[in-house]
Amino acid sequence: MATLLRRALFPLRRLPSSPRPAADVPFRARSHGAGLLYPDHIPTSPLQKALLAAGSAGMALYNPYRHDMIAVLGETTGCHTLKVLRDQMKRDPEGAQILQERPRISLSTLDLGKLQSLPKGSFGREYLRFLDVNRVSPDTRAPTRFVDDEELAYVIQRYREVHDMLHTLLGMPTNILGEIVVKWFEAVQTRLPMCILGALFGPVRLSAQSLQVLVSELIPWAVENGRRAPCVLNLYYERRWEQPLRALREELGITAPPLRVQGLA
Minimum separation from the CB atom of position 69 to other proteins (A): 7
User: Which one of 34, 51, 200, 215 is in contact with other proteins (CB under 8 A)?
Assistant: 51
Minimum separation from the CB atom of position 160 to other proteins (A): 17
Instruction: State which H helix or E strand residue 200 sits in.
Output: helix 193-201
CA distances from residue 126 to 24, 115, 158, 231, 244 in whole angstroms, order as listed = 52, 9, 20, 21, 9
Return d(Cα 168, Cα 85) in angstroms, integer.
22
- Three-state SS at 244: strand
The beta strand positions in the chain, using DSSP E, are none
Binding mask 112-151 for other proteins (x = CB under 8 A): ---------------------------------x------
Those residues whose C-beta lies under 8 Å from the C-beta of residue 188, and which sit 6 or more positions away, are 222, 223, 226, 227
CA distances from residue 260 to 160, 248, 265 in whole angstroms, order as listed = 25, 20, 7
User: Which one of 2, 3, 18, 204 is in contact with other proteins (CB under 8 A)?
Assistant: 18
Residue number with CB closer to other proteins (56 or 157): 56
Segment interacting with other proteins, rule: CB under 8 A, options 53-61, 89-97, 163-171, 244-252: 53-61
Is 41 annotated to bind a ligand? Reply is no
Residue 31 in the binding site for other proteins (CB under 8 A): yes
User: Which one of 12, 15, 28, 129 is in contact with other proteins (CB under 8 A)?
Assistant: 28
Return d(Cα 158, Cα 102) in angstroms, integer.
8
Is 167 annotated to bind a ligand? Reply is yes
Annotated binding-site residues for Zn(2+) read 163-164, 167, 179
Residues that bind other proteins (CB under 8 A): 9, 18, 20, 22-28, 30-31, 42, 45, 47-48, 51-52, 55-56, 58-59, 66, 68-69, 72, 145
